[in-house]
Amino acid sequence: MTSQASEQSRVKGTGNTLPSRSESYSIPSDERLTPDKEASTVQKVNEGLFGKFLPRTQTLVDMANRTLPSIILKRKSIREAADEIDKTITELNLAVDIDDYRLLPGGHWIPLSCNPRWKVAIVVPFRNRFHHLPIFLRHIVPLLKRQKLEFSIFIAEQRNDERFNRAMLMNVGFVEALNFTNYDCVVFHDIDQLAINVKNYFGCDNMPRHFISGEAIWEWKLYYEDLFGGVTGLTKQQFYDINGLPNIYWGWGGEDDEFANRVKAKDLKRSRPKGEIGYFDSIVHERNESSPFNEARFCLLGNIGQRRTTDGVSNLRYEQPTIELHPLYTNISVNIQKLPWNPRWKRC
Ligand code: UDP
Ligand code: MN
């Protein structure tokens, strides 16, 4: 989550009454899901959540996936006046009504019985956490439906073996989500976080929101007051105002502290639910070898001011992602690369 947080969790180690992350709860590697097994597990989640609506939903998702490349191509050629992708999908009659919700392929749910207060894009930074995906989906979809939000889940997947870049994936997820629908609120959600309380409302606020007030593994506390990692939400405008997240953090740690700093620098005071409303459980996992510590993080955090307006959504560039619609989520698979270095930034 953040440099500070996890270092302390390691230091804390055995003195803690709760099992540490790497001990009791980790899934042994031989029980981990491969992408194929993951697909069949998500399929079980689909069966559970859609019931009799699943065959029809699956047919519409397949049809939408077949037309998606041409919709995207058309948008590219008429950039300015391009329709949102979901508008075109609706016009093609690819939506299905399920109880009091309308569902568009890609997991976009729109309440029919009320005017939703927020249109929320849930953006999940992701790589190789297939064993977490079904648990996450099974947990969050019913919760968001109970909150009567309009919402969609975007899995922003890093498709290469470079160090994991959580912040840049969040930027990409934000931009790509807005191509589908004009979401007014974006919630960035680590895949291993599970909100315990249905009253933890996933709409936005007039201030950037940190949704976590305590974690089971941290004895229902936060590691430090300024923590702004795990699950955070901003209006579209707030996100543009702070220039999104930095793109230069490759590897684990630091990026969420810079995120918090950007919020503060704009005089935005982050909000957070109080007490048990903001309690989260987390799927405990081993430290990921493919996501080593970013040794440069402390140096980078010392030069935050230089990059605030020059590294973020403002300079974001990436190849066209591969986009795949699923019944419960949209997968945005992207080969993100290092962006050109700005000579005004200090090297770390
Ligand atoms: N993540 C991922 N694959 C990785 C590393 C990170 O999908 O190899 C995503 C995932 O959403 C995860 C989040 O980034 O929950 C934060 O990373 P991680 O869980 O490793 O950090 P922690 O908060 O556990 O220290
Ligand atoms: Mn984690």
Q: In this predicted model, what pLDDT tens digit does every residue of 247-293 receive, in sequence order?
A: 999 999 999 999 999 999 999 999 999 999 999 999 988 877 667 89
Spell out the domain ranges in the chain.
51-334
Query: What gap in Å lies between CA 49 and CA 44, rounded to an integer?
Result: 9
* 203 band by pLDDT with thresholds 50, 70 and 90: very high
Please report the pLDDT score of residue 48 as a whole number.
Answer: 95
* 25 band by pLDDT with thresholds 50, 70 and 90: very low
Average pLDDT across the chain, whole number: 90
CA 326 to ligand 1 centroid distance, Å = 22
CA 192 to ligand 2 centroid distance, Å = 6
241 backbone dihedrals φ, ψ, rounded to 5° = -60, -35
Cβ 127 under 6 angstroms from ligand 1: yes
Query: What is residue 332's three-state secondary structure?
Result: strand
Cβ 126 under 6 angstroms from ligand 1: yes
pTM > 0.85: yes
Residue 333 tokens, joined: 């698979």
Position 108: which residue type?
Answer: H
* 194 band by pLDDT with thresholds 50, 70 and 90: very high
Please report the pLDDT score of residue 33 as a whole number.
Answer: 59
The CATH H-level (homologous superfamily) assignment of domain 51-334 is: Spore Coat Polysaccharide Biosynthesis Protein SpsA; Chain A (3.90.550.10)
Q: In this predicted model, what pLDDT tens digit does every residue of 213-253 receive, in sequence order?
A: 999 999 999 999 999 999 999 999 999 999 999 999 999 99
Cβ 6 under 6 angstroms from ligand 1: yes
List Cβ neighbours of 188 (8 Å cut-off, separation of 6 or more).
123, 124, 125, 170, 173, 231, 232, 233
* 186 band by pLDDT with thresholds 50, 70 and 90: very high
Query: What gap in Å lies between CA 286 and CA 23, rounded to an integer?
Result: 8
Tell which wins on pLDDT, 312 or 83.
Answer: 312
Please report the pLDDT score of residue 225 as a whole number.
Answer: 94
Pocket test for ligand 1, best of 1, 135, 249 (most atoms within 8 A of CB): 1
| Whether the predicted pLDDT of 129 surpasses 50 | yes
CA 288 to ligand 2 centroid distance, Å = 9
Q: In this predicted model, what pLDDT tens digit does every residue of 132-144 receive, in sequence order?
A: 999 999 999 999 9
Cβ 256 under 6 angstroms from ligand 1: no
| Whether the predicted pLDDT of 32 surpasses 60 | no
Given phi > 0 = left and psi -120 to 50 = alpha, else beta, which region is 219? Answer: left
Cβ 291 under 6 angstroms from ligand 1: yes
Q: How confident is the model over 49-76, as a mean pLDDT?
A: 96
